[in-house]
Structure 1
Amino acid sequence: MTTRHATVPDHGPALRLLSLGAGVQSTTVLLLACEGVIPRFDAALFADTGWEPRAVYANLERLRVHAEKAGIPVRTVSAGNIRADALDPKHRFVSMPLHTLNPDGSRGLARRQCTSEYKIVPLKKAARELLGFPHPRRVPRGVYAEQSIGISIDEIGRARDSGVRFLRNVFPLLDLGFDRARCVEFLAERGFGRTVKSACVAITCPFHGNAGWRWLRDNDPDGWAEAVEFDRAIRHGYPHATKQGQELRGQYFLHRSCQPLDQVDLDTPARGKRHLRLITAETARDEDGDPDGCSPWSCRSGEPVTGTETDTQTEERAA
């Protein structure tokens, strides 16, 4: 006997949303909507970790004014301040992918929860509320928001679904054939040429290479000082974990060399020096890191993130 499952007609999205990181790709998508090249968004949502680069916040405010003229509201959603939470012994432990130096001298990378907890979960919550079905209300089958993600064709491997029925990810830059270089050109033509790479917890993202850390040191002294202070504070683990008596072996660092951030030689060899520098995949990674930028569902730092299994199961049950 064949079991037939009832199908729900797709009447199209109830809302069109943009996951806005305020970096190059997502800024391009927002401006395309403002110009009518792609459908207008009902809202652009910026998931704020509370510790983004100052340049990202500045671009966000400029975009807020620009998009409002086109009838697109830019809203900020947040799950808290990741810096304050990480250093608070009373706050639930949420792991960043810190570099670890084990007692035997080997190195590793701590588990990453930050993208899911501080980006993906707040955006899912906001989508539910905008649809009119905040948790724990069930979102009816067939009711969903379409969410645009700023992934360019050179990052096509990062394109992922949201993992829940009420939120469907779409990728306008892939449809238009935009790569990152085209996005940069597009923004420059419209006076947004100074748009910086966005990065979730950019000030402390352990996936930075020397170039990213050097930029922070040379262009954002306050941010650099905060990063150095944070690097020292997490040397022996997160306060909440140690307070709970969890045994944390080894030491933790922001820089991949497993050295204190303010002691790392971040400067490239001076021009004109007569010596050869062997360029390998490892040395290139040390300099450039994984490309900066950590937007929900398309974190370009490390492996793609779709949210923890628990998050997805919870959302599915509530949907």
Structure 2
Amino acid sequence: MSTPTSTAPDTGPALRLLSLGAGVQSTTVLLLACEGEIPPFDVALFADTGWEPRAVYANLRRLAIHAGKRGIPVRQVSAGDIRADALDPRHRFVSMPLHTLNPDGSRGLARRQCTKEYKLVPLKKAARELLGYPHPRRVPRGVYAEQAIGISTDEFTRAKDSGLRFLRNTFPLIDLGFDRTRCVDYLTERGFGATVKSACVGCPFHGNAGWRWIRDHDPLGWAEAIEFDRAIRHGYPRATTQGQQLRGQYFLHRSCVPLDQVDLDAPTRTKKHLRLITAEAALGADTEEDGDPDGCSPWSCRSGEPVPGSGKRAA
């Protein structure tokens, strides 16, 4: 779906890559390639933040075995452990999109840099290395890798180009007309029906449904999230040790309430009730339950920007 920037004849991609998150959509893309429904990949790249749910890592291990038997290697790349780095006062500060409660009572969202640093950077680095032109070597014009992204038809607005001359994004699920429901059905038919959404355990984009799933299915992850939520209440250790303490407070949950005090089981408003309120309020209600619709997919995230409608930035 990307448009070449050169007028030179396109000789085709030097490599075919898959950006593998090991969630529903990207798992579907990998299985489609394994079954010959789409062309095979030279490598499937998983950008590991170090803090995915244990179910995601289990699925990744299974996929590596399954795809490896069909000649598609699954390779993990990483820029570090996001949870450990954020809590380490010696580590360089990298902002997560934490929810903020400002001194005047207003709410906001901190800048999101984590997706760029923990997903985009290692994926781009790996692509350059696989092409044979590691930084700072310049990738010659006309040499590029084709990178498949697991975005389904119901998320088509998230389909974006990489912004890089040597990396061209493609969207097999959109080309095949697969929405998320069809992906789930496809996975279930092939014994991968237990595949869960890929996102960091402590991702501030989780809605109540996401937090409930972690609480009920990943108790160790839930304990880590609660501990992390407490630790960042007044700023990251790196910032506070340097006298840069936040004037407000940080939270993982969008309510700006400590995670272990949030009522995650409170019933959400029904569609009937949603029809009685404004469209903006209805969107907020959906987001509260289901999480931010854009999430933090590395190739569709608005890195460095607040989520629209989230209010002020942190003071």
Fold shared, TM-score > 0.5 on shorter chain: yes
Which of 226, 229, 236 matches 1:228? 226
Counterpart pick for 1:205 among 203, 206, 209: 203
Instruction: Give CA deviations for 1:28-58 in whole Å, capped at 9, x if unaligned.
Output: 0000000111110000000000010100000
Secondary structure of the 1:169 match is strand
Q: 1:265 to 1:130 in 2, by over 3 A?
A: same
2:171 corresponds to: 171
User: Aligned with 1:287: secondary structure?
Assistant: helix
Equivalent AA in structure 1 for residue 284 of structure 2: E
Q: What pairs up with 1:38-187 in 2 under 5 angstroms?
A: 38-187=38-187
Q: CA deviation at 1:285?
A: 2.3
Distance of aligned partners of 1:292 and 1:261 in 2 relative to their CA distance in 1, 3 Å threshold? farther
Which one of the candidate residues 237, 248, 251 is aligned to 1:250? 248
Once the two structures are TM-superposed, the CA of residue 167 in structure 1 deviates from its matched residue by 0.5
Whole-Å separation in 2 of the counterparts to 1:155 and 1:57? 24
Shift of 1:9: 2.2
Q: Distance in 2 between the 1:29 and 1:281 partners?
A: 29
Conserved 8 A contact 2:232-2:251 = yes
* Counterpart Cα distance in 2 of 1:6 and 1:27: 32
| CA deviation map 1:210-255 (0-9, x unaligned) | 1111111111111000000000000001111122222421000000
Decide whether the 8 Å contact of 1:40 with 1:72 is kept in 2.
yes
Partners of 1:46 and 1:64 in 2: CA distance = 10
Does the Cα contact within 8 Å between 2:44 and 2:72 map onto a contact in 1? Answer: yes
Deviation per CA, 1:194-214: give whole Å up to 9, x if none. Answer: 110111x2x111111111111
Where does residue 313 of structure 1 map in the other structure? none
Deviations 1:49-98 (A, max 9, x none): 00101000000000000001110000000000000100111111100000
Secondary structure class of the residue paired with 1:12: coil
**Separation in 1 of the partners of 2:191 and 2:245?**
52
Amino acid paired to 2:289? E
Instruction: Indicate the residue corresponding to 2:310 in structure 1.
Output: none
1:259 paired with 2:257, answer yes
Find the aligned partners of 2:186 and 2:26 in 1 and give their Cα distance: 12
Unaligned runs of 5+ in 2: 275-281, 306-315
Q: Report the alpha carbon displacement of residue 308 of structure 1 after superposing the two structures with TM.
A: 6.4
Q: What is the deviation of 1:14? A: 0.2
Instruction: Kindly provide the CA deviation profile for residues 272-315 of structure 1, in whole angstroms up to 9, marking residues without a partner as x.
Output: xxx999444333322222258533213xxxxx33x569xxxxxx
SS of alignment partner, residue 215 of structure 1: helix
Q: Deviations over 1:150-208 (max 9, x none)?
A: 00010000011111111010000111010001100111111111110111x2x111111
CA contact (8 A) 1:148 1:172 kept: yes
Deviation at 1:113, TM superposition (A): 0.4
Q: CA RMSD in A?
A: 2.1
Q: Quick check: 1:289 aligned with 2:287?
A: no
* CA gap 1:71/1:104 in 2 versus in 1, 3 angstroms: same
Distance of 1:112 and 1:102 partners within structure 2: 18
- The match for 1:216 among 214, 220, 223 is 214
- The amino acid across from 1:287 in the alignment is E
19-28 vs 282-291, greater mean Cα deviation: 282-291
Of the three residues 234, 237, 257, the one matched with 2:235 is: 237
Aligned residues: 293
Rounded to whole Å, the distance in 1 between the matches of 2:18 and 2:204 is: 26
2:277 maps to: none
Give SS of 1:46's match: strand
Partners of 1:88 and 1:74 lie apart in 2 by: 30
TM-score, with length taken from structure 2: 0.89
Aligned residue for 2:278?
none
**Contact 1:50–1:80 (Cα < 8 Å) also in 2:** yes
TM-score, normalised by the number of residues in structure 1: 0.88
- Specify the alignment match of 1:22 in structure 2: 22
For 2:65, give the aligned amino acid: V
